[in-house]
């Protein structure tokens, strides 16, 4: 079969700043990628139908969209909902996949993808933090994490602490657990996040958001301890599997 | 314009000196002159553009610029530092045809955070300065999506009056860009008469009026707050994204940033290329009405770039800007009248000949008198001295105290608040980390940062710095040599290439001085530093590609009604950037495995004068017995070239026999070894030679010295390679599993009967290094 590689739409503009490495990570997993400015998509009227027809994956990269001045990711979420009028749930139901990394995850949360009772706020320490963490997938729901064990990834955020509305905490959490949405946890506790959650997926497992940066660990030489084993310098990094999983899934969904 | 660096200087030195009695401009003779003596095929543009430009490979180039933002940071550390960063980012955006900023490097010199004496009126406590600066860097760097891959913190009481805030940025750009068929080379700047003068980005306000002139005065209690500009990283990020897109579409012909002097200097500079300019400043978008014409011209409001847009491209340029949410003010056009004409609502408000604008500065003449300051002291012991404690009883406490010195202690609290990995290029981070993400995670310092800018290439860039103001008290010549050597050593540790025909190693100089005008001694300090820099750069064949000076780092004010003056020590920051052909050959400073052999690489000609040891010991060293003849470490460039050519040459890099390499700098050899041990938690068994004064051996500082390790199997081959090449080394111990750093005098008996003269648990070493680092 000679059909072209599945395509990824990587959104950029207005303070998003991880678009290049996010596109490169998808390319390393054999995707074709387009980095497009949010305003261009709005101007040319990229509808949900066109998005579904053209792109197997939508990626919301990390950064500080609109300066994060009205809580993180909020303006980006509003633009996607009200200007582009994309219903990401419908996109996923039609076979599309979505990843939101760091600021992109914050935007997915603001859109209510993981329910109205989920929010994200400043790290417990009250500071921006760039460090490496170990994260472990739980359950088999998330299409992006299939077959993966514990991996090392960097976090680089000031607002990564997931919260559940306190009044409905246990029922909300139980429901999310049951649906397999609580799909990624930190091994430690870097930011005070609810139940050490590092990432969430929606009930279809196709929309995935996480605070750590899988696109920043595509090469083994990005690891903070790689020089201890120079023989492995050419190996891929742990993050690549996330994008390769999406590729396998995208081929299946055609 | 470099008033002091272009001055004619009459230099007098009672001793013999290699410095001429009449200097025809320090910039010409010691900075540009040095680079001119080091022709390199990879130098594309030096000292003419906003930043120095060097070839990275056939397709791409990198550029680098380091700025200071001292005066604003003293008044408003947050705004000052933020603006310092986004400001130097704009130098990169306006370099050549526009480069993408790919790394930041930040160095701060402040008074110690535990400063407890009364503060002079209006000065901020160093903690407030540091906290403001930290936030400024966090917002300026992190929000702009530029990784902060390198930096340093230097503490000295004399930075109380003016902190030194160095902000550096590196950029990356294609060597040719523009629309197909109209490509321009990145190092060439053209402007044609008729090109539109477009200002893009932020609007003009009253902030930053006279920022440049204010920075060029001593700080006092009259210094105006409005001189501090206010930056907005997101507006600038939008502008940056737009510019790189417009560059690749060939929508403009030339670009520069609006920094010091605002439009007056950006348009004035570009007008030289076409031969004139005419603008109407009433067309500039403003933050609010009511700005006077001269305020519009000189305001240093941030996030603004000035471009020359060919008339035929104006429509496309404007429409892309609109889609990117970037505002354009079309102010007028470049001309060839030889004049810079400034109108307001059509009426002339200024009309200057370009010649006057650029060549109208009268030349300064300065006197420099060296000799008023003590020459390098050599102090021999005599019976009148008070005995210093014995090495056996005091060395462990000395090491712990040194590790806790703010200049040496962990900077992790600061480093982790900066994004050092965005853009996905990270190879060597500011810290190496063992067992990341676990409860046992522990980080130790690396010597320099390395990134891999292109996914399609294994080549990388290494960025490191050297700064050693303590030596200025002895001789600024030596201080400058030391800064250069330290910057080069740092990049070598991580894997920079050296001494090969294709080696790319460039230097950037940043002088921060107490005002030398009218003070022959301070002028002599400057002369000596410039010649020391020249001497070291020539010896290491490392050309200077860019630089900046800040010459009024003095505070005059009051403390409790009494007048007080504080001047910074003469401070030279050297930044080194090197290209590596394969990032997979990078090294870090941590000892890797039990049983590895520990070497001192280099002659270890170290001294206690001008060291952290000296700063820590409360008595003057020359009153103490037992420290040996007191010395200061001196350079030996022939030897340096031999050592560095091995480390950065083919064999030193390719065979992976050297498993770690760490620079010996602040705190000397024992401090360097402790730093290499603490992350992994191994111990070390070390031998202190009997033929050396142990204090000087353990804690002396100087030139050309490294700590290296290799596996036991490789050590013989390495030693014979070093013997053959004449690379000095000393085998001083092994990495051991017992988590203690133990030192034996002379020999360690194999039967285990020797008692160590020093024995410290790694946990003690860690907590000393970490505790003082976490001051917040």
The ipTM is 0.96
| Residue recorded with tokens 């409790």 | B560
pLDDT over 80 (residue B719): yes
Q: Would you place residue B774 in the very low, low, confident or very high pLDDT band (cuts 50, 70, 90)?
A: very low
pLDDT tens digits along B101-156: 999 999 999 999 889 999 998 899 999 999 998 888 888 889 999 999 999 999 99
Q: Would you place residue B180 in the very low, low, confident or very high pLDDT band (cuts 50, 70, 90)?
A: confident
Is there a contact between B436 and A222 if contact means CB atoms under 8 Å apart? no
How far is B163 from chain A, CA to nearest CA, in Å?
A: 24
- Residues in chain A within 8 Å Cβ distance of B323: 37, 39-40, 43
pLDDT tens digits along B482-533: 999 999 999 999 999 999 988 999 999 999 999 999 999 999 999 999 999 9
The average pLDDT across B720-735 equals: 95
How far is A121 from chain B, CA to nearest CA, in Å?
A: 17
Catalytic residue among A18, A19, A21, A102: A102
Q: CB–CB of B603/B639 below 8 Å? A: yes
The average pLDDT across B218-231 equals: 55
- Vertex A188: Cα angle to A186 and A193 (nearest 5): 60
Active site residue A213: yes
Cα–Cα distance measured from residue A198 to residue A205, given in angstroms and rounded to the nearest whole number: 15
Q: Find, in chain B, the residue whose alpha carbon is nearest to that of A154.
A: B421
- Residues in chain B within 8 Å Cβ distance of A133: 436-437
At B218 the pLDDT is 59
Contacts of A70 (CB under 8 A, 6+ apart): none
Q: CB–CB of B104/B92 below 8 Å? A: no
CB nearest to B424's CB, from A24, A152, A234: A24
The average pLDDT across B390-407 equals: 94
> Which residues lie across from B189 on neighbouring strands?
none
Q: Find, in chain B, the residue whose alpha carbon is nearest to that of A17.
A: B145
The average pLDDT across B70-93 equals: 86
How far is A129 from chain B, CA to nearest CA, in Å?
A: 5
Half-sphere exposure of A59 (CA within 13 A, CB side): 34
Q: CB–CB of A213/A156 below 8 Å? A: yes
Mutate to test the interface with B, among A13, A37, A130 (most CBs of B within 10 A): A130
Taking each helix axis from N to C terminus, what angle separates B668-678 and B391-403, rounded to the nearest 10 degrees? 60
Percent of chain A at pLDDT > 70 equals 99
Is there a contact between B324 and A133 if contact means CB atoms under 8 Å apart? no
Q: CB–CB of B164/B108 below 8 Å? A: yes
- Vertex B291: Cα angle to B358 and B218 (nearest 5): 55
**3 state SS of B89:** helix
At A2 the pLDDT is 44
More confident residue, B656 or A154: A154
- Residues in chain B within 8 Å Cβ distance of A186: 437
Q: What sign does the CA torsion over A171, A172, A177, A179 have?
A: positive
- Residues in chain A within 8 Å Cβ distance of B325: 13-14, 39
At B362 the pLDDT is 76
How far is A170 from chain B, CA to nearest CA, in Å?
A: 28
Contacts of A185 (CB under 8 A, 6+ apart): A135, A136, A138, A195, A196, A197, A198
At A111 the pLDDT is 97
Helices vs. strands in chain A: H and E counts, helices first:
8, 11
Percent of chain B at pLDDT > 70 equals 94
Contacts of B397 (CB under 8 A, 6+ apart): none
CB nearest to A40's CB, from B323, B583, B586: B323
More confident residue, B74 or B728: B728
pLDDT tens digits along A115-137: 999 999 999 999 999 999 999 99
Q: Find, in chain B, the residue whose alpha carbon is nearest to that of A133.
A: B437
The average pLDDT across A205-209 equals: 98
Tokens of A20: 């290049």
pLDDT tens digits along B591-618: 999 999 999 999 889 999 999 999 999 8
CB nearest to A227's CB, from B138, B233, B586: B586
Rounded to the nearest integer, the mean pLDDT of chain B is 90
pLDDT over 60 (residue B222): no
Rounded to the nearest integer, the mean pLDDT of chain A is 95
Q: CB–CB of B379/B621 below 8 Å? A: yes
- Residues in chain A within 8 Å Cβ distance of B417: 127-130
The average pLDDT across B538-544 equals: 97
Q: Would you place residue B220 in the very low, low, confident or very high pLDDT band (cuts 50, 70, 90)?
A: low
pLDDT over 80 (residue B231): no
- Residues in chain B within 8 Å Cβ distance of A128: 138, 142, 417-419
CB nearest to A187's CB, from B144, B424, B437: B437
At A35 the pLDDT is 97
Cα–Cα distance measured from residue B619 to residue B635, given in angstroms and rounded to the nearest whole number: 27
Cα–Cα distance measured from residue B395 to residue B390, given in angstroms and rounded to the nearest whole number: 8
Is there a contact between B325 and A221 if contact means CB atoms under 8 Å apart? no
Per the document, the length of chain B is: 776
> Which residues lie across from A164 on neighbouring strands?
A118
At B230 the pLDDT is 58
Q: What sign does the CA torsion over B702, B631, B152, A126 have?
A: positive
| Residue recorded with tokens 């092994």 | B734
| B248: nearest Cα among B462, B359, B97, B354 | B97
- Residues in chain B within 8 Å Cβ distance of A130: 415-421
Cα–Cα distance measured from residue B571 to residue B579, given in angstroms and rounded to the nearest whole number: 26
Cα–Cα distance measured from residue B676 to residue B596, given in angstroms and rounded to the nearest whole number: 12
At B772 the pLDDT is 54
Half-sphere exposure of B221 (CA within 13 A, CB side): 11
Per the document, the length of chain A is: 254
Neighbouring CB atoms inside 10 A of B347's CB total 9
Cα–Cα distance measured from residue B462 to residue B222, given in angstroms and rounded to the nearest whole number: 42
The average pLDDT across B444-448 equals: 96
Q: Would you place residue B301 in the very low, low, confident or very high pLDDT band (cuts 50, 70, 90)?
A: confident
Tokens of B729: 């080394």
- Residues in chain A within 8 Å Cβ distance of B431: 224
Is there a contact between A127 and B590 if contact means CB atoms under 8 Å apart? no
At B776 the pLDDT is 45
Cα–Cα distance measured from residue B10 to residue A141, given in angstroms and rounded to the nearest whole number: 78
Q: Would you place residue B363 in the very low, low, confident or very high pLDDT band (cuts 50, 70, 90)?
A: confident
Cα–Cα distance measured from residue B702 to residue B542, given in angstroms and rounded to the nearest whole number: 20
| B455: nearest Cα among B576, B354, B583 | B583
pLDDT tens digits along A43-74: 999 999 999 999 999 999 999 999 888 889 99
CB nearest to B592's CB, from A37, A222, A228: A228
> Which residues lie across from B342 on neighbouring strands?
B279, B350
CB nearest to A224's CB, from B233, B323, B429: B429
Q: CB–CB of A1/A198 below 8 Å? A: no
pLDDT over 60 (residue A229): yes
Cα–Cα distance measured from residue A125 to residue B776, given in angstroms and rounded to the nearest whole number: 12
At B376 the pLDDT is 55
Lowest mean pLDDT among A137-146, A164-173, B355-364, B753-762: B355-364
Q: B385 to each of B381, B623, B627, B650, how far by Cα in Å?
A: 7, 5, 11, 50
| B21: nearest Cα among B367, B516, B363 | B367
Radius of gyration, CA atoms only, chain B: 27
At B508 the pLDDT is 97
Percent of chain A at pLDDT > 90 equals 93
> Which residues lie across from B330 on neighbouring strands?
B198
Q: Would you place residue A1 in the very low, low, confident or very high pLDDT band (cuts 50, 70, 90)?
A: very low
Cα–Cα distance measured from residue A190 to residue A178, given in angstroms and rounded to the nearest whole number: 25
Cα–Cα distance measured from residue B431 to residue B410, given in angstroms and rounded to the nearest whole number: 10
Q: Would you place residue B440 in the very low, low, confident or very high pLDDT band (cuts 50, 70, 90)?
A: confident
Percent of chain B at pLDDT > 90 equals 68
At A37 the pLDDT is 96
Mutate to test the interface with B, among A65, A224, A234, A239 (most CBs of B within 10 A): A224
Active site residue A215: yes
Is there a contact between B416 and A130 if contact means CB atoms under 8 Å apart? yes
Q: CB–CB of B399/B670 below 8 Å? A: yes
CB nearest to A225's CB, from B417, B432, B587: B432
Report the first-to-last Cα separation within chain A, whole angstroms. 12
pLDDT over 90 (residue B202): no
DSSP string across B117-166: SPPPTTPPPHHHHHHHHHHHHIIIIITTT--EEEEEEEE-GGGSSS-EEE
Burial of A240 (0-12, 13-18, 19+ CB in 10 A): buried
At B378 the pLDDT is 61
At B193 the pLDDT is 95
Q: Find, in chain A, the residue whose alpha carbon is nearest to that of B443.
A: A224
pLDDT tens digits along B408-434: 999 998 899 999 999 999 999 999 999
Tokens of B393: 């009883």
pLDDT tens digits along A175-190: 999 999 999 999 999 9
Percent helix, strand, coil in chain A, to 5, is 40, 25, 40
Tokens of B372: 């008023």
Is there a contact between B421 and A222 if contact means CB atoms under 8 Å apart? yes
pLDDT over 70 (residue A95): yes
Is there a contact between B423 and A127 if contact means CB atoms under 8 Å apart? no
């Amino acid at each position: 079969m000679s059909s072209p590689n599945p395509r990824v739409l990587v959104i950029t503009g207005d303070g998003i700043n991880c678009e290049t490495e996010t596109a490169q990570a998808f390319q390393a997993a054999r995707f074709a990628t387009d980095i497009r400015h949010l305003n261009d998509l709005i101007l040319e009227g990229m509808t949900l139908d066109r998005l579904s027809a053209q792109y197997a994956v939508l990626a919301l990269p990390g950064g500080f969209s609109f300066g994060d001045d009205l809580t993180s990711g909020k303006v980006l979420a509003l633009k996607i909902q009200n200007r582009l009028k994309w219903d990401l749930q419908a996109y996923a139901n039609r076979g599309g996949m979505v990843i939101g990394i760091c600021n992109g995850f914050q935007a997915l949360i603001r859109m209510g993808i993981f329910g109205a009772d989920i929010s994200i706020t400043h790290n417990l320490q009250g500071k921006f933090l760039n460090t490496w963490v170990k994260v472990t997938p739980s359950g088999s729901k998330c299409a992006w994490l299939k077959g993966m064990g514990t991996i090392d990834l960097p976090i680089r955020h000031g607002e990564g602490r997931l919260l559940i509305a306190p009044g409905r905490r246990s029922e909300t959490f139980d429901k999310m657990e049951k649906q397999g949405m609580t799909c990624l946890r930190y091994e430690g506790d870097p930011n005070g996040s609810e139940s050490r959650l590092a990432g969430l997926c929606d009930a279809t497992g196709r929309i995935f958001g996480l605070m750590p940066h899988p696109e920043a660990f595509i090469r083994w030489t990005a690891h903070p301890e790689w020089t201890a084993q120079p023989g492995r310098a050419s190996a891929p990094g742990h993050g690549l599997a996330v994008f390769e999983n999406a590729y396998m899934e995208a081929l299946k969904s055609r | 314009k470099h008033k002091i660096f272009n001055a004619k200087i009459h230099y007098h030195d009672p001793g013999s000196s290699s410095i001429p009695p009449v200097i025809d401009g320090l910039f010409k003779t010691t900075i540009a002159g040095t680079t001119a003596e080091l022709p390199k095929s990879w130098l594309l543009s030096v000292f003419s553009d906003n930043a120095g430009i060097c070839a990275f490979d056939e397709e791409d180039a990198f550029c680098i610029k380091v700025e200071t933002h001292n005066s604003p940071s003293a008044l408003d550390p947050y705004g000052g530092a933020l603006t310092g960063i986004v400001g130097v980012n704009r130098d990169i955006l306006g370099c050549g045809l526009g480069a993408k900023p790919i790394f930041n490097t930040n160095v701060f010199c402040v008074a110690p955070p535990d400063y407890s004496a009364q503060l002079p009126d209006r000065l901020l406590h160093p903690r407030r300065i540091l906290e403001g600066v930290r936030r400024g860097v966090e917002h300026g760097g992190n929000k702009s999506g530029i990784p902060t891959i390198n930096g340093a913190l230097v503490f000295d009481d004399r930075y109380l009056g003016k902190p030194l805030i160095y902000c550096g940025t590196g950029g990356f750009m294609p060597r040719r860009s523009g629309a197909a068929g109209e490509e321009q080379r990145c190092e060439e700047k053209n402007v044609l008469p008729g090109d539109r003068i477009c200002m893009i980005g932020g609007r003009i306000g009253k902030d930053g009026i006279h920022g440049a002139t204010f920075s060029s005065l001593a700080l006092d209690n009259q210094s105006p707050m409005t001189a501090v500009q206010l930056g907005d990283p997101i507006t600038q990020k939008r502008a940056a994204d737009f510019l790189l897109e417009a560059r690749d579409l060939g929508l403009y012909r030339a670009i520069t940033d609006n920094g010091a002097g605002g439009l007056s200097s950006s348009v004035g500079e570009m007008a030289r290329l076409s031969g004139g300019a005419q603008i109407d400043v009433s067309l500039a978008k403003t933050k609010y009405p009511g700005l006077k014409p001269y305020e519009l011209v000189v305001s240093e409001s941030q996030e603004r770039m000035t471009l020359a847009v060919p008339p035929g491209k104006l429509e496309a340029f404007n429409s892309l800007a609109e889609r990117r949410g970037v505002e354009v003010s079309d102010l007028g056009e470049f001309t060839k009248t030889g004049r810079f004409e400034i109108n307001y609502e059509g009426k002339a408000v200024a009309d200057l000949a370009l010649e006057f604008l650029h060549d109208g500065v009268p030349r300064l003449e300065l006197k420099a008198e060296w000799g008023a300051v003590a020459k390098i002291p050599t102090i021999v012991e005599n019976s009148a001295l008070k005995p210093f404690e014995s090495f056996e009883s005091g060395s462990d406490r000395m090491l712990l105290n040194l590790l806790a010195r703010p200049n040496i202690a962990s900077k992790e609290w600061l480093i982790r608040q900066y994004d050092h990995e965005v853009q996905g290029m990270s190879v060597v981070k500011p810290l190496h980390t063992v067992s990341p993400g676990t409860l046992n995670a522990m980080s130790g310092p690396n010597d320099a940062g390395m990134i891999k800018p292109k996914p399609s290439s294994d080549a990388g860039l290494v960025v490191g710095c050297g700064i050693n103001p303590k030596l200025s008290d002895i001789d600024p010549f030596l201080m400058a040599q030391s800064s250069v050597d330290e910057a080069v050593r740092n990049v070598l540790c991580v894997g920079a290439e050296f001494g090969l025909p294709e080696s790319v190693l460039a230097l950037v100089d940043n002088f921060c001085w107490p005002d030398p005008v009218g003070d022959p001694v301070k002028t002599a300090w400057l002369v000596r530093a410039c010649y020391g820099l020249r001497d070291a750069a020539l010896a290491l064949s490392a050309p200077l590609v860019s630089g900046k000076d800040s010459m009024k780092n003095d505070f005059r004010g009051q403390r409790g009604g009494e007048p007080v003056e504080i001047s910074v020590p003469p401070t030279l920051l050297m930044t080194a950037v090197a290209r590596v052909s394969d990032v997979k050959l990078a090294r870090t400073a941590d000892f890797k495995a039990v049983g590895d052999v520990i070497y001192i690489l280099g002659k270890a000609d170290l001294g206690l004068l001008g060291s952290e040891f000296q700063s820590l010991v409360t008595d003057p060293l020359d009153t103490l017995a037992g420290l040996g003849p007191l010395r200061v470490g001196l350079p030996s460039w022939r030897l340096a070239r031999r050592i560095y050519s091995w480390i950065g040459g083919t064999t030193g890099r390719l065979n992976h026999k050297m498993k770690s390499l760490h620079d010996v700098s602040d705190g000397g050899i024992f401090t360097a070894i402790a730093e290499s041990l603490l992350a992994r938690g191994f111990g070390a068994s070390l031998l202190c030679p009997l033929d050396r004064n142990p204090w000087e051996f353990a804690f002396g500082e100087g030139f050309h010295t490294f700590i290296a390790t290799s596996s036991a199997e490789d050590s013989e081959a390495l030693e014979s390679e070093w013997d053959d090449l004449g690379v000095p080394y000393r085998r001083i111990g092994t990495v051991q599993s017992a988590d203690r750093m133990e030192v034996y005098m002379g020999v360690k008996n194999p039967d285990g009967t020797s008692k160590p003269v020093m024995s410290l648990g790694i946990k003690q070493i860690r907590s000393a290094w970490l505790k003082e680092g976490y001051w917040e």
